[in-house]
Amino acid sequence: MQSHQVKVQRTAHYYTIGTPGKHIKRFWLVCHGYGQAAGRFIHKFDKMDDDETFILAAEGLSRFYFGGFNGPVGASWMTKENREDEIEDYLNLLQTLYDQYTPQFADNVKTTFLGFSQGGATITRFAMLRKPTFHHLILWGTNFAHDINFKDEKEFLSTKKIILAIGKQDEFLTPERVEKVKEFADKQEIEYETVWFDGKHEIPRNVLKQVEEIIQNYE
C-alpha cells in the first residue's frame, strides 16, 4: 500500500463584523477553538462593533457533527494525522484572508490576532511562520505552540504585545498546565502579560473588553 497526496481547491468559510474601508483603524483576526464554528464564535465580539473596527473569524477546514449525527456542526483546525499538510492548508487560508482585507484598511491600522483554545496554536503559527504585520497576539484559554522557536524571533516580537487570558476555573488549563506554560515561556524568553478572570474555558464579553483596553493603552 502506498500513500499519496493531491492538492485540490475547496471552499473555506469565514464571518465578519464591520465594513472594510480606509476608515478601519483596528483589525481583529480571530480563530475559534476545537468543535466550534466561526459563525457562532464571532458573536463573542459583537460588543466591539464600531465604525473603526473590523473583525474577521476564520473557520477550520475540517467539519464534523458535534454530539451525534443530529447535533450541531463544529470545526477543527487540524489533527495529528498528516499534521504538516493541515498546518500548511490553514496557513494558506489565513494568509489569503489577511491579504484580501488588509489593503482595504487605513495605513495606520492596528492588527490583533486572537486564538481561543485550539485556535491559539493556529493563529500563533500564522503569526510566527508567515510573519504578517500585526501588533497584538492574544492567546485565550490556551498555551504557546511548542513547535515554534520564539527565542530566535525576539527581535520580531519586540514590538508586539502578547497577552494570555486564562479563566481561574478553566477545566483544561489546570494549575499544573499553567505552570508548564510559564516554564516554556521563560525558557523561550517570551515577554507576555497574563490576564486572569473568574470563569471557565470561555470568552466573557466583559473580560474581552478589559483585554481590548489593555492593548489600546499599549498603542
Find the helix or strand (DSSP H, E) in which 84 lies: helix 83-101
- The third-level CATH classification (topology) of the domain covering 14-218 is Rossmann fold (3.40.50)
Position 134 pLDDT exceeds 90: yes
With bands split at pLDDT 50, 70 and 90, how would you rate the model's confidence at 71?
confident
Position 67 pLDDT exceeds 80: no
Reduced to 3 states, what is the DSSP secondary structure of residue 41?
helix
User: How is residue 85 written as a grid cell?
Assistant: 499538510
pLDDT of amino acid 100 = 98
With bands split at pLDDT 50, 70 and 90, how would you rate the model's confidence at 105?
very high
Reduced to 3 states, what is the DSSP secondary structure of residue 192?
coil
CA atoms 203, 204, 205, 208: torsion sign: negative
Q: Which residues contact 103 (CB under 8 A, 6 or more apart)?
A: none
Position 66 pLDDT exceeds 90: no
Structure confidence by residue, pLDDT tens digits, 145-159: 999 999 999 999 999
Structure confidence by residue, pLDDT tens digits, 198-219: 999 999 999 999 999 999 887 7
Structure confidence by residue, pLDDT tens digits, 19-39: 999 999 999 999 999 999 999
pLDDT of amino acid 77 = 94
Structure confidence by residue, pLDDT tens digits, 78-91: 989 889 999 999 99
Distance CA 51, CA 108 (A): 15
Count how many residues are written for the chain: 219
Structure confidence by residue, pLDDT tens digits, 164-201: 999 999 999 999 999 999 999 999 999 999 999 999 99
Q: In what order do the strands lie in the sheet with 26-31?
A: 14-17, 53-58, 26-31, 110-116, 136-140, 161-167, 193-197
Find the helix or strand (DSSP H, E) in which 161 lies: strand 161-167
